[in-house]
Amino acid sequence: MIDPKVLRQDIERVKATVKNRKMTFDFDQLIQIEEKRKSIQVSTQHLQNQRNELSKSIGQRKAKGEDTQALFAEVNQLKESLEKAEIELNELLEKQTNLQLMLPNLLHDSVPVGKDENDNIEVRRWGTVPSFSFTPKDHVDLTEKSAQIDFNAAAKMSGSRFVVMRGQIARLHRALIQFMLDIHTQEFGYQETYVPFLVEANALWGAGQLPKFAEDLFHIKGERTLSLIPTAEVPLTNLVRDTILEKSDLPLKFVCHSPCFRSEAGSYGKDTKGMIRQHQFEKVELVQVVEPEKSYEALETLTKNAETILQRLELPYRVMALCSGDVGFCAAKTYDIEVWLPSQNKYREISSCSNTENFQSRRLQARYRKEANAKPEYVHLLNGSGLAVGRTLIAVIENYQDEDGNVRIPKALQGYMGGVEKISL
């Protein structure tokens, strides 16, 4: 949520952000509500002052033994007017808050202005794109015969965009998860965390998933209304909800493996083949809670933590700075890491690493004290995939395939695979 002071004092900056994000927003309505709110607030304060003066007069008259009946009648009238004004004010404040919740985060000054992903800027790339003496297959064709990746079996029970994995591919998927968790906990100091996969609406509001992304969620209705998490970022950021931390507590670094559930609203026709875009997939998620002055240093570190996984797996990738039109709703700045997929002959996103600054922490009321007895300030929250497991699996299968349809196991994973060096498909 944007700082209300910025909305009052620098509305042009907010308008520029919305414009550069290629979004629309009814600023006139927001301004009208603000003007009306100020007017009612002034009237309310005036009524409160009148009531206080009359109450004082009643006390003085009583002390003198004078009649106070007329004054009591005035006070009751003022009380009714005040109650109506307060109801109207609260309704306006609710409308104002609901509108403000639809505003995206302000963009960091370093974010390039652009329309969409075509305007993103390459920051760096790592590794050498593999050269094959044969035409490389995609992960679907490679595993079709053995059915170790089986979309038909999944479709029979769940419909499209689900998958069943079997045998060594399922084991490789598990090995990737364990490998990622070990690197992030043992080398980078993240605390491994297990979280609920079903959350209440207030957790989604706090993380910025609601109201903007309601259509992309799966909702469970029963005795309680819950939603399946679209990412572990939601429960991880909620760990500091309604919390005042001490400076000595920071930074907090969480890593979590979880399934993610997304309806993929509006993505019909995109990546319909294979595991690129699924309703259910696995991720190893990174979240950091830091002091505001250190959040952009933390963004660089978090991004490099995610990159390390690809480097250890010897998978070529590039890092992209997202332009204004491609940065997510909650983020002030984002780096996408894109891994090379031979079958598509291009890089595909495998991680987004973002600094949300205090946008999420305002919603969550996540704060800290710089020193004892100091006024609490909002922490900065960062998140990133370290990595998306299914897409990493695809990248390993496709980059490590041979002409006979086998998949070599990266050296970094062989210990997690019980010494297996190659999977026959």
How would residue 57 be classed by pLDDT, with cut points 50, 70 and 90? Answer: confident
Query: To the nearest whole number, what is the mean pLDDT of the chain?
Result: 94
| pTM of the predicted structure, to 2 decimals | 0.92
Domain boundaries, the chain: 26-102, 117-423
Q: Is 383 annotated as a binding residue?
A: yes
pLDDT for 347-365, tens place per residue? Answer: 999 999 999 999 999 999 9
Residue 99 per-residue DSSP state: H
Q: List, as one string, the DSSP characters of 222-286.
A: SSSEEEE-SSTHHHHHHTTTTEEEEGGGPPEEEEEEEEEE---TT-TTSS-STTSS-SEEEEEEE
Please report where in the chains the tokens 């002034």 appear, as a residue. Answer: 42
How would residue 72 be classed by pLDDT, with cut points 50, 70 and 90? Answer: confident
CATH code given to domain 26-102: 1.10.287.40
Of 306, 310, 287, the C-alpha closest to 233 is 287
pLDDT for 117-173, tens place per residue? Answer: 999 999 999 999 999 999 999 999 999 999 999 999 999 999 999 999 999 999 999
Q: How many residues make up the chain in this entry?
A: 425
Q: Is 177 annotated as a binding residue?
A: no
pLDDT for 251-304, tens place per residue? Answer: 999 999 999 999 987 666 788 789 999 999 999 999 999 999 999 999 999 999
Q: Is 74 annotated as a binding residue?
A: no
Please report where in the chains the tokens 């598990």 appear, as a residue. Answer: 174
* Residues labelled catalytic: 262, 277, 349, 352, 391
* Fold of the CATH domain 117-423: BirA Bifunctional Protein; domain 2 (3.30.930)
Q: Is 291 exposed, middle or buried (0-12, 13-18, 19+ CB in 10 A)?
A: middle
Q: List, as one string, the DSSP characters of 333-366.
A: EEEEEEEEETTTTEEEEEEEEEE-TTHHHHHHTE
Q: Which residues pair with 369 in a beta bridge?
A: 246
Q: Is 53 annotated as a binding residue?
A: no
Contact of 357 with 105, CB cutoff 8 Å: yes
Q: Is 232 annotated as a binding residue?
A: yes
Q: Is 85 annotated as a binding residue?
A: no
The whole-number pLDDT of residue 219 equals 95
How would residue 60 be classed by pLDDT, with cut points 50, 70 and 90? Answer: confident
The whole-number pLDDT of residue 266 equals 67
Q: Is 264 annotated as a binding residue?
A: yes
The 8 Å CB, 24+ separation contacts for 370-375 are: 370/247, 370/291, 371/247
